[in-house]
Amino acid sequence: MAARDSWTAEEAYATVDAYLQYWLGDPGDWETKVDIYRDLHRRYPARSEKAFEFKFQNVSGALYVLGLDYMPGLQPRVNFQAQVLDIVAAYLEAHPEIRSAIAPYQRARPDTPEPRLPQRLRQAGQ
């Protein structure tokens, strides 16, 4: 099955919600990130579990662009649709309790490379 090029706002919002709820909120029935990917795939079968894993990395990338920390173990993938950045920013604005729980981004170690941002995202993060 070939995945569609563009994610719907519903698919992207569900992914952002699952990411942030699992990391900082109520994990519900999910014990691992793989459980989340499977659950999202069941809800949105046009997307594979692997697609949701990559989208989680995009959410990490959006958090990084916004100057915030991201879920451990999910390195930021910063080559993502602008929609992801918009949804993450709107989600955090609508959920100030989650926004306040996320620390500003700090490099874990001095030798940790920073994700390389595309030009459009370097401007968005300023």
Per residue in 55-76, pLDDT (tens digit) is 999 999 999 889 899 998 888 8
Q: pLDDT of 19-59, one tens digit each?
A: 999 998 776 667 889 999 999 999 999 999 999 999 999 99
Q: Say how far apart CA 60 and CA 101 lie, in whole Å.
A: 15
pLDDT for res 93: 95
Q: What is the pTM of this model?
A: 0.81
Q: Is the pLDDT of residue 124 over 80?
A: no
Mean confidence (pLDDT) of the chain: 84
